[in-house]
Structure 1
Amino acid sequence: MEQPRTRLLPGHDGLPLAVDARGEGAPTLLFAHGFGQTRQAWDGATRALAAMGCRCVSFDCRGHGESGRAAEGDYRIEQFAGDLLAVAQAQPEPPVLVGASMGGLLGLALAGETRPAPFRALVLVDITPRWEAAGVERILAFMQAHPDGFADYREAAEHIAAYLPQRRERKREEQLRPLLREGADGRLRWHWDPALLGSMARESERHQPRLLAAAARVEMPVLLLSGERSDVVSRETVAEFLKLVPHARHVEVPGATHMLAGDANDAFTGQIVAFLEDLPGGALRRPAFPQEVQ
């Protein structure tokens, strides 16, 4: 299986962003991860879609993974949106954006506020302009736990298993290596900048009016995928979104939580393929999914 090609791309203010690319075909799909994730969250989907002929690009948001960290912990939504725009504009054609949670909200803001639109189409993964606060608080509680890190990968895997009880298999060491950094004290800590847990996380709700207004201005094709068991997206927030974007398609993925792509990658990838096939001039062949997809 082809390994991704990794490079550093300057973001909004020159901050280096770690960017992966798989596949050589079209259309180009740009994947933007959620708060506290890395570009590796998309590995299963990018492998499958690249095998079908798509060009798949994913990147670490600033303060996450292998991308740069903001000086003095200064993180603002305008910087994150500027980074996403820079990666989109670096592609050979306007990409289809696939954005989960934070990545989806950044894409939604750009799709509604930027002209010409930087994307060909938009796939929102379990996120709407207004969300359920309890689900976000659960995510932040996970990120704030264990500030002193873990003694080894086994201990980190146990913490993830408790957070994601729906997953049958625990994370292996090779899967955890991109998510953890070893400190000078020998302990393993998460890949994100702890400064992200300040105002960027806690003040996210104040951006909801802006996001609702942006959604009402989106003209491109939109697919909203939500998890049946999500605690971040609800029937109420989905209904509100569909009123604002009446041309959007909504699919609820059975059994999936907010971590939709990881919970049900085959179903997730299949819905993206069906959406791409319906785009003007963007039909895809539908070969069998690779058995390796997780």
Structure 2
Amino acid sequence: MKRTMTTLTVTAAFLLSLMLMAVWLGGPRPVARMDSIHQPFARADFSGLPTPSHFAARDGTALAFLRYPAIGTALNRRLVLVHGSSSRARSMHVLARALAQAGFDVVSLDMRGHGDSGPRGHIAYVGQLEDDVADFMQAQPYAGPSTLVGFSSGGGFTLRLAASAQGRLFDRYLLLSPFLHHQSPVTRPDAGGWVSVGLPRLVALNVLNTLGIASLNHLPVMRFALDAGIQSELTPSYSHTLADNFRPHMDWRADLLAAQGQLQVLAGSRDEVFIAERYADTLAQAGRPLPVTLVDGVDHIGMTLDPRGIAAVVKAAQ
């Protein structure tokens, strides 16, 4: 019996040391700049960028957003835009401006952990992002219906919210080139070179969380392919908590089946982050076929910057 206990103790100590080593040394590696993501922004027209507004979330944190009032004949529908991974509200400016010109009231959110919404790269708990959207809708009420429009990781989060208790805040959801899951048929390896995942640290933190240990969830588990010159403007890495929240749940198929409201997917045919032509079959095989629009000749970031991608989004939002 004593020998058995000794063996168990030694084994447990060995496994614990491996786990701690994975946490300490197994973080995300640096990743080279991805030009197809950065270069289009250098050519984009950011004139007329609104002054940021703020609302108070339930924890008292001031969270930022950009407001674009409808131009011309208003359509009595608000579009709430959610940016992609690492980014911020202003990255959606060109799309937001076009949607406002089409008659929509538009707001673009700095999601918590990004831009001017709290410390970048981390949030307090999984589910805080859903709470923040609910707090925005309460703090900034709108008389008509609202659509949530999410791009890339923001599109995955949009699916997550549609399946949540806050899903009734919107009656329509537009998912632009959405992230579904790292093992889904849609996702390219390393998201086409956009992201580096510290898999040893991620796995170790998941194990610790199952044991009720969450004190290390602030450590980064994802790093993005940013240009060094603009890292100060963006969010270069995600903590375990933020990475877990700014996406669908791990069982993304359950999110898809539980999602409320009307959902539609749009993506560029030349998307270099996801394999866009697989969206329709992947969603159908998951049990909920959705309308999928592929925009010919448009790449990933082009869904928010390319005139062809923007025209498709404006049409889908109507």
- TM bucket by the smaller chain? 0.5 to 0.7
- 1:251 equivalenced with 2:293 (yes/no): yes
**Alignment-derived partner of residue 189 in structure 2:** 134
**Alignment-derived partner of residue 257 in structure 2:** 216
Cα 1:13–1:256 shift into 2, 3 Å: farther
Larger radius of gyration: 2
**Alignment-derived partner of residue 290 in structure 1:** none
Alpha-carbon offset, residue 15 of structure 1:
2.3
**Alignment-derived partner of residue 11 in structure 1:** 57
Match of 1:34 among 62, 72, 84: 84
Measure the CA separation in 1 of the matches of 2:88 and 2:61. Answer: 16
Query: How many pairs are equivalent?
Result: 236
After superposition, the C-alpha distances for 1:44-76 in whole angstroms (9 at most, x for unaligned) are: 111112122210100111121122117x94454
Measure the CA separation in 2 of the matches of 1:29 and 1:116. Answer: 15
Cα 1:31–1:205 shift into 2, 3 Å: closer
Match of 1:22 among 68, 77, 97: 68
SS of aligned partner of 2:274:
coil
Contact 1:10 1:16 in 2 (8 A): yes
Measure the CA separation in 2 of the matches of 1:7 and 1:190. Answer: 20
Measure the CA separation in 2 of the matches of 1:276 and 1:108. Answer: 16
Q: TM-score with structure 1 length normalisation? A: 0.68
Measure the CA separation in 2 of the matches of 1:42 and 1:91. Answer: 21
Task: Give me the CA root mean square deviation.
Answer: 3.2
Measure the CA separation in 1 of the matches of 2:270 and 2:317. Answer: 25
Contact 1:84 1:107 in 2 (8 A): no
Measure the CA separation in 2 of the matches of 1:202 and 1:116. Answer: 21
SS of aligned partner of 2:128:
helix
Match of 2:136 among 84, 87, 91: 87
Write the letter of the residue equivalent to 1:55: D
**Alignment-derived partner of residue 232 in structure 2:** 190
Match of 1:118 among 159, 169, 179: 169
Contact 1:30 1:88 in 2 (8 A): no
Write the letter of the residue equivalent to 2:93: D
Contact 2:145 2:170 in 1 (8 A): yes
**For structure 2, which runs of at least 5 residues remain unmatched after alignment?**
1-46, 197-221
**Alignment-derived partner of residue 101 in structure 1:** 152
Cα 1:225–1:206 shift into 2, 3 Å: closer
